[in-house]
Structure 1
Amino acid sequence: MEVANSPRIKVLLLTGQSNQWHNWKVSSRALASVVEDESIFELDTIVSPSAGEDFSEFSPNWGDYDVILLDYEGDEWAEDVKSAFVDYVRGGGGVVAFHAADNAFPNWVEFNEMIGVGGWGDRDESVGSMVRWRDGEMVLDDASAGAMHPDAFEFQVETRAPKHPVMKGLPASWLHAIDEQYSCLRGPAKNLTVLATAIAGPEIENGTGEHEPMLMAIDFGEGRVFHTTLGHVGADDTETPLAMKCAGFIETLYRGLEWAATGSVTRDVPADFPSSEKTSVR
């Protein structure tokens, strides 16, 4: 939907590198298609140099955009580019960290604060705690563990912050299409709100039995960050996977983009949003 007389939200999709377990070409194509389908957004895309190539000309003008959609896990940026990004977000810019973007930049202190928690990249206890949901509240867990996930499966996503603009009106629980369920992510977890969680029981290989954060909102200075761990695209995938076709993934992405950019959400819950019993893919 588009609010009458409202300017379109300017989105920059930043992509171009992923590790050996992901395929940024497929995920960024799917993200671009989804964002372009929604009239409140105006999308530009920047593809970074490939791994090991020259980054000297890589210098996005962050301030041209209301929100940066990160589908990137790769080479470090130059210090001045990183500094400008920090200033952009701290000054009120929006960020959406998509799935494997939370594996990026393990040694960049401010980035870890922006995304709240991250995975892999040798992230250990030194970068912060794991975030869990226990007895109705967020808990910081300092136990020793590294990021992992079970094999992809359908799982329930449970709303934990029903009054937050991103989650308002969404079901208390909904069945997400087959996807990786990230677990044991860890980081500073400053100014972080858990929006939704999911659990893989101990009967599932690599299931932690913990309610792990799937959707998060983080305040960073005056800026807002929406972190979604959903939407895995495997290295060998050539077509958009069900995880990214899930109406729940798409709607929460839309809401996260709008909230990160503006601080509010104008969207109604779509009729095809998943229920607790049935997935819904587009």
Structure 2
Amino acid sequence: MRTLRSILWSAALVSTLVAGAETAACAADTAYDVLVFSKTAGFRHDSIAVGVQALRDLGAANDFTVTATEDAAVFTAGNLAQYEAVVFLNTTGDVLDDTQQTAFEAYIRGGGGYVGVHAAADTEYAWPFYGELVGAWFASHPAIQQATIKVEDRAHAATAGLGQTWVRTDEWYNYQTNPRSTAHVLASLDESSYTGGGMGADHPHTWCKTVGSGRSFYTGSGHTQAAYAEAGFRALLLGGIRYAARRVDADCRPETGYSTLYNGSTTGWSQAGPGGFTSTDATLSSYDGMGLFWYSAQQFTDYSLKLDWRLAGDDNSGVFIGFPASADPWSAVNNGYEIQIDATDSVDRTTGAVYGFQSADVAARDAALNPPGSWNTFEITVAGERLQVFLNGVKVNDFTNTDPARSLAGYVGLQNHGTGDDVSFRNIRIKPAGVDRTVQAESFNSAAGVSPYTKAGAHNGQTLGYVDPGDWAAYAGLDLTGVTRFKARVVSGGPGGTIQIRAGSATGAVLGSVAVPNTGGWTTFADVSTQLSGVPVGVQTLYLTFTGTGGGLFDVDDFTVARAPGSGAITGPGWTCLDVSGAGTADGTKIQLWTCNGSAAQQWSPVGQTWRVLGKCLDVAGGGTADGTKVQLWTCNGSGAQNWTPQTDGSLRNPQSGRCLDAAGGATADGTQAQIWTCSGGAAQRWNLP
């Protein structure tokens, strides 16, 4: 929100943008050079020649020059340095020798761009780096036929001009693996629309990713000669090249687990104040104001909110979070926080700023921001009272709320600022944070029979005590989306009993129950846990009801509602990621903290009590037990040095040593060594599992 524009964009630029957003964006590109490589050591596509010519034509119209070759000798460090991107156009087989591979890998990891077209996935099967770069290798294909492509991301320059579906004819590849866990999928195939699909309901077809400091874009289309005459396919190639060559930015981190708030349907949304948004082609477009279009169906606590937005020119809008339900848009202004969208305002109220409270990192913002007329992507993460803003995958703000009158928990909404402030939004989606929520049991909102009891050894100094059969306690405002587990810290010198977990009321359906034993005395604490089923999504009131025989059954210290670990990033102190140094795979490779980037070196998978990445395990060096023992990558061997158990305070405990995974010195800088240390529950030991 703002009342006065500080800078006006030139009328010439605005008129150009109105004439055509993509043309304006391309016209603004500085000239660059692209190498097109089409060497084949296997099947040779008869479309290569027309493909090369199509790329030359695109270059002539969009300020990049094309050098086409099938001579692998050009893959030297000195020669590759002159190109912003390299296109592998229907390459097949082993096309580079070891020296050429080394030069190309260094080029990519150092910031170069790669574009793979169709049979680029049928290339260099014995070279692990290339598999990481292309995202997935070819497995098979049916006959050429028509199929429906589902466009999942319409903000990327390659797909922004497409509709939600795209029907065309090509040769449709099946892949050996699904790239979704390591790449950002832009489009996928609807296997019900053709015959011969082999990947099921999730069949990625076009994707992008980062590899080291480099960028990668791949599409499975491009087999036929006719494809290169299609306007849509040529625009797809152009957008992929512009992304790889860093002429446009995008969030190409892997993305899974999000729920849609808006992708064409406005169900659950309400308008507060004047003006509003039209909804056409799964796109919200503002008119008049000043009002707020807010998602009134649900409020949120810890989460990641992603949305795509576009300004026409020098316009004004924002994303509001953490406000209470209200038909007055000023309630969001006065009680919530606005993440501003307006690149021309003052520093505390410009794109990426927490309006009026904290400026964005302007240098980082400017480097990541696409110009008016182009789409941008925000990710807004909330963890407790910490707010972070990512623009096209780059962090541009990190803000902590310290105002007791405000909170980051609440509703989310979009501002329509006023007549002439034209903004559009697409693909609004949200994912509950992978953070288990621990609640002090004595901090109930309502209860029957029970009351707080001061006890030595209890977390926060108190337990929920005086528990008798038929008693209950209620806890409001818990986001249960994705919750599958319940864990409680209990103590009992009495008969013990059972905790029943319910939602909605004290007589609601039982989601799970867990027996509480006599723990050995009223000062001996123990953990009990159970799986839950039928858990409702969204913010709910959770009820604990208690059964047993006799009186004084047990005390409850605290409880945790948890989500089952999946595969993905493990985030830790400073919202950094647990990372394998240099994506190395040798035994003993350093495990460290690093800026989250979605790379394969940060994609962890739980297997039993182990955490695995790049085919190896998270390991305590030498099976050590001393504070400061380094944590490393090592061949999985089933030893106790590789076992880790999540704790209710967010820590990962190695049972063999009795110590917790820890960031050395409590640091958060890139390269901070992971180690084990005496478990403390401190910030250096809190890890958010995927």
Residue in 2 that maps onto 1:139: none
Partner of 1:79: 98
TM-score by length of 2: 0.30
Report the alpha carbon displacement of residue 156 of structure 1 after superposing the two structures with TM: 1.6
Query: 2: CA distance between counterparts of 1:76 and 1:207?
Result: 27
2:243 counterpart of 1:243: no
Matching residue's letter, 1:67? A
CA distance in structure 1 between the partners assigned to 2:63 and 2:227 by the alignment: 23
Is residue 179 from structure 1 mapped to residue 170 from structure 2 by the alignment? yes
Task: Kindly report which structure 2 residues correspond to 1:1-282, keeping only aligned pairs within 5 A, or say none.
Answer: 1=23, 6-17=29-40, 19-20=42-43, 22-23=45-46, 25-48=48-71, 57-60=73-76, 61-71=79-89, 72-119=91-138, 147-176=139-168, 178-186=169-177, 191-201=182-192, 204-205=195-196, 209-233=200-224, 241-262=225-246, 264=248
Describe the SS at the equivalent of 1:201: helix
Percent of residue pairs bearing the same amino acid type:
25
Any conservation in 1 of the 2:27–2:62 contact (CA below 8 Å)?
no
Match of residue 519 from structure 2: none
- Specify the code of the residue in structure 1 equivalent to 2:212: G
Larger Rg: 2
Q: Say which structure is richer in helix.
A: 1
Distance in structure 2 (CA, Å) of the matches to 1:229 and 1:102: 8
Residues 205-243 of structure 1, C-alpha deviation per residue, up to 9 Å, x if partnerless? 45654342111101101111000110104xxxxxxx222
Native 8 Å contact 1:112 1:187 kept in 2: no
Which runs of 5 or more residues in structure 2 are unaligned? 1-22, 250-370, 376-690
CA distance in 1 between partners of 2:28 and 2:94 (Å):
40
Alpha carbons of 1:160 and 1:151: their partners in 2 closer, same or farther (altered >3 Å)? same
Contact 1:161–1:167, Cα closer than 8 Å, also in 2: yes
Offset, 1:202: 8.7
Using a 3 Å threshold, how does the CA distance of structure 1 residues 46 and 261 change in structure 2: closer, same or farther? same
Amino acid at match of 1:244: Y
Shift of 1:268: 7.0
Distance 1:112 1:190 in 2: 14
Residues 31 and 73 (structure 1 numbering): CA distance in 2 closer, same or farther, change over 3 Å? farther
Relative to structure 1, the CA distance from residue 75 to residue 183 in structure 2 (aligned partners, 3 Å threshold; closer, same or farther) is closer
Deviation (angstroms), 1:106: 0.3
Q: Say if 1:18 and 1:171 are closer, same or farther in 2 by CA, change over 3 A.
A: farther
Distance 1:42 1:263, change over 3 A: closer
CA distance, structure 2, for counterparts of residue 82 and residue 65 of structure 1: 16
Residue 152 of structure 1 and its aligned partner are, at CA, apart by 1.1
Unaligned runs of 5+ in 1: 49-54, 120-146, 234-240, 270-282
The alpha-carbon distance between structure 1 residues 213 and 187, as it changes in their structure 2 partners (threshold 3 A), is: closer
In structure 2, distance between residues paired with 1:169 and 1:4: 16
Q: Partners in 2 of 1:94 and 1:202 — Cα distance?
A: 33
- Aligned equivalent of 2:658: none
Deviations 1:158-200 (A, max 9, x none): 1112333433353111222x21111234277663011001123
| Counterparts of 2:30 and 2:199, CA distance in 1 | 44
Give the CA deviation at 1:14.
1.0
1:261-280 deviations in Å (ceiling 9; x for gaps): 116167879xxxxxxxxxxx
Q: Distance in 2 between matches of 1:187 and 1:18?
A: 25
For the residues of structure 2 that align with 1:37 and 1:268, how far apart are their CA atoms?
Answer: 21
| C-alpha contact (below 8 Å) 1:10/1:67 kept by paired residues | yes
Q: How far apart are the structure 1 equivalents of 2:106 and 2:181?
A: 18
The superposition leaves residues 78-100 of structure 1 with CA deviations (integer Å, 9 ceiling, x where unpaired) of 22211111111111111100110
**Distance 1:41-1:209 versus aligned 2 partners, 3 A rule:** same
Q: Is the 8 A contact 1:18 1:24 kept in 2?
A: no
AA in 2 matched with 1:153: Q
SS at match of 1:186: coil
Instruction: Name the CA distance, whole Å, in 2 between partners of 1:24 and 1:81.
Output: 25
Q: What's the secondary structure of 1:64's corresponding residue?
A: coil
Structure 1 residue 149 displacement after superposition: 1.9
Residue 156 of structure 1 aligns to which amino acid in structure 2? Answer: T
Report how many residues are paired: 227
Task: For 2:43 and 2:27, locate their aligned partners in 1 and report how far apart those are by CA, in whole Å.
Answer: 44
Q: Whose relative contact order is higher, 1 or 2, with alpha carbons under 8 Å and at least 6 apart? A: 1
CA displacement at 1:27 relative to structure 2: 4.7
TM-score, normalization by structure 1: 0.70
Deviations 1:34-89 (A, max 9, x none): 434423221111222xxxxxx6x454411110000112223342222111111111
Q: Secondary structure at the match of 2:81?
A: helix
Distance 1:5 1:207, change over 3 A: closer
* Equivalent AA in structure 1 for residue 241 of structure 2: L
Letter in 1 for 2:86: I
* C-alpha separation in 2, matches of 1:38 and 1:75: 33
Once residues 153 and 188 of structure 1 are traced to their aligned partners in structure 2, the CA distance between those partners, rounded to angstroms, is 23
Letter in 2 for 1:150: P
| C-alpha distance 207-79 of structure 1, shift in aligned 2 (>3 A) | closer
Contact 2:120 2:134 in 1 (8 A): no
Stretches of 4+ moved more than 4 A in 1? 2-6, 187-190, 205-209, 265-269
Structure 2 counterpart of 1:112, one-letter code: G
Give the Cα–Cα distance (whole angstroms) in 2 for the partners of residues 58 and 211 of structure 1: 37
8 Å CA contact 1:17, 1:74 repeated in 2:
yes
Distance 1:85 1:187, change over 3 A: farther
The one-letter amino acid paired with 1:82 is Q
Q: Retained in 2: the 8 A contact 1:159–1:195? A: yes
Q: Quote the offset at 1:24 in angstroms.
A: 6.0
